[in-house]
Amino acid sequence: MAISQSSLPVWFPGVFHSSPSQPGPPLPSLSLVKPSPVPVLRTLNRGVRIQPPRAAREDSMSAIISDLELQKTAEQVDTRQPQDGLANRWRVIHGRDDWAGLLDPIDPLLRTELIRYGEFVQACYDSFDYDKFSRYCGSCKYSRRQFFYSLGMESAGYDVTRYLYATSNVKVPKFFAKSVMGSRTWSERANWIGYVSVSNDETTARLGRRDILIAWRGTVTRLEWIHDFMAKMQPVRSAGIPCPDTRVKVETGFVDLYIEKDSTCRFCKYSAREQVLTEVRKLVAQYTEAGEEVSITVAGHSLGSALATLNAYDIAEMELIKGADGKQVPMAVFSYGGPRVGNEHFKERCDKLGLKVLRVVNVHDKVPTVPGVLINEHMPEFMLRAMDGYVHVGVELLLDHKHSPFLKDSLDPSNYHNLEAHLHLLDGFQGKGRKFAPTTGRDPALVNKSCDFLHEHLMVPPNWRQDENKGMMRSQEGRWAQPERQKIDDHPEDIHHHYQQLGLDRFE
């Protein structure tokens, strides 16, 4: 069961966030207009504006934006909008060359893609049922087929093919379990943790390939917290991942959440690992057999970025990136505010497998410094190997929230870690030593969707995103109650077939 964001401690990974069928009627709408996580739908009005006198607008959002637009003109900031070209450059943007030459200054096309994939991850938070009074707390508020439509993301260009559920089998005292779970929840062990989706035909043509997207959310429940605090490591082979090197280790809490299952729960019957691997196998086979070019993109924030890295490594180790034609399917990980996952041998194994990971980090965020605050990649090599410390994987893109004129000085570390804040910083980042200049037109008000990080004079209320009437609806009898959900998706009918084909039944 998920718990209220406001009751969670302030520093831990992921806790700082307080379609294929014809669209049907949306579930309970937001009290404010639902912003679309697709950048083109979130652009500011760039038409001709009649500006009021400077004195009347000096404390407004538009004043800051106008001043920054003047700065961009004066300083010749690269604000090119990549309207096309992705179909020809997608392999480079996807990390073929480890993003060499694309980060400083940042490539406009890469910026747009980082924001786009980050918003797919943000959709996990926006659709998660946090309400402890909800009988569906811990699940996704929307059905799989209505997922993007319900979030106002009709133009997302992807179809969700399955939901992912994580299982926590941590043993806790009964009194604590009650406070964590409750007695009326839809599942005592399962929590909705992300989804697998695939680009539709129109988006595939624009991207230059059929993109399989796996999105993972960060920590939102107390039991996930316990997993996060398990700082010890274990060999990946003990988790059933067929790694030939027994020295390759990952953080125990992350891998436990990835592999745990519970046969007594219909949502926990298969582990998160089994769910995602079977779906990836099916989709890769389906589209490569049809002769299409395919990519795999794994994205996550905080705990979700740790799971994304572990998941992508597992896909590579299981050789699921080989298509039906024997060619390798390009795969990339986009990580936002992610912690370290494993030891140096894990990093070396990822490098050997050719795993491409781009980590977006706010320099003031403490989450990417754990685990391994003291023993990490910054130590001398001989000491790191002797102590078997944690090491980051991939390429790092450093951002600094203090460079944004929209963000206030804050002592709340949860703000530094907020995913919407990361996407805002990506929008304005130009490169080291360059002025912050919003480029894509992404609305800065989105930062305060689930936190309080914008300057007060911008007049954007903190934590503004909520369901209208908190999801309560009035019945024909005049009573207010939560509407029944027609169905909560669990596992597709063909999962056991792919489960056996992957040989996962050998580990039962």
Domain boundaries, the chain: 5-43+85-507
- As a whole number of Å, the CA-based R_g of the chain is 22
* pLDDT value at residue 481: 92
> Catalytic site residues?
302, 365, 417
Residue 223 pLDDT = 54
Cα 302 to Cα 196, 235, 360, 501, distances in angstroms = 18, 22, 11, 32
The pair of structure tokens assigned to 237 is 């082979």
Of the listed ranges 15-19, 107-111, 260-264, the one predicted with least confidence:
15-19
286-305 confidence digits (pLDDT tens) = 999 999 999 999 999 999 99
Average pLDDT, stretch 204-212? 97
Mean pLDDT over residues 21-45, rounded?
Answer: 39
- Least confident segment among 22-31, 163-172, 404-413: 22-31
- Look up residue 481 and give its two tokens: 């109650």
Tokens of 11: 């520093």
| ω into 371 cis (within 30 of 0) | yes
Q: Which residues pair with 294 in a beta bridge?
A: 210
**111 residue type, one letter:** R
**Other residues' Cβ atoms within 10 Å of the Cβ of residue 107:** 20
> Higher pLDDT residue, 55 or 95?
95
| Arithmetic mean of pLDDT, 207-215 | 98
d(CA 186, CA 423): 32
pLDDT at 188: 77
Q: For 197, list phi and psi in degrees, rounded to 5.
A: -140, 165
Cα-Cα-Cα-Cα torsion 102, 105, 107, 113, nearest 10 degrees, comes to 90
Predicted local distance difference test score (pLDDT) of residue 216: 98
Distance between alpha carbon 283 and the CA centroid of its chain, in Å? 20
* Residue at token pair 């994939």: 117
pLDDT band at 41 (very low <50, low <70, confident <90, very high): very low
Out of 16-30, 57-71, 190-204, 316-330, least confident range: 16-30
Copy the structure tokens of residue 308.
Answer: 């994304």
Choose among 240, 231, 232, 237: nearest CA to 260: 240
Give the model's pLDDT for residue 405: 97
Spatial CA neighbour of 407 closest among 396, 393, 423, 390: 423
Asked if residue 301 lies in contact with residue 419, where contact means CB atoms within 8 angstroms, the answer is yes
pLDDT of residue 174: 44
pLDDT of 361 = 98
The pLDDT value recorded for residue 387 is 93
Rounded CA separation 461/454 (Å): 9
**pLDDT at residue 292, rounded to an integer:** 97
Q: Give the pLDDT band of residue 221 (cuts 50, 70, 90).
A: low
pTM across the whole model = 0.85
Provide the token pair at 295.
Answer: 């990519």
Structure tokens at 30: 């937001």
Question: Domain 5-43+85-507 falls in which CATH fold?
Answer: Rossmann fold (3.40.50)
The tally of CA atoms less than 13 A away on the side-chain side of residue 176 is: 8
Average pLDDT over residues 434-453: 96
Cα–Cα distance, 148 to 136 (Å, whole number): 19
- Mean pLDDT throughout 452-474? 94
The confidence band for 327, taking pLDDT boundaries of 50, 70 and 90, is very high
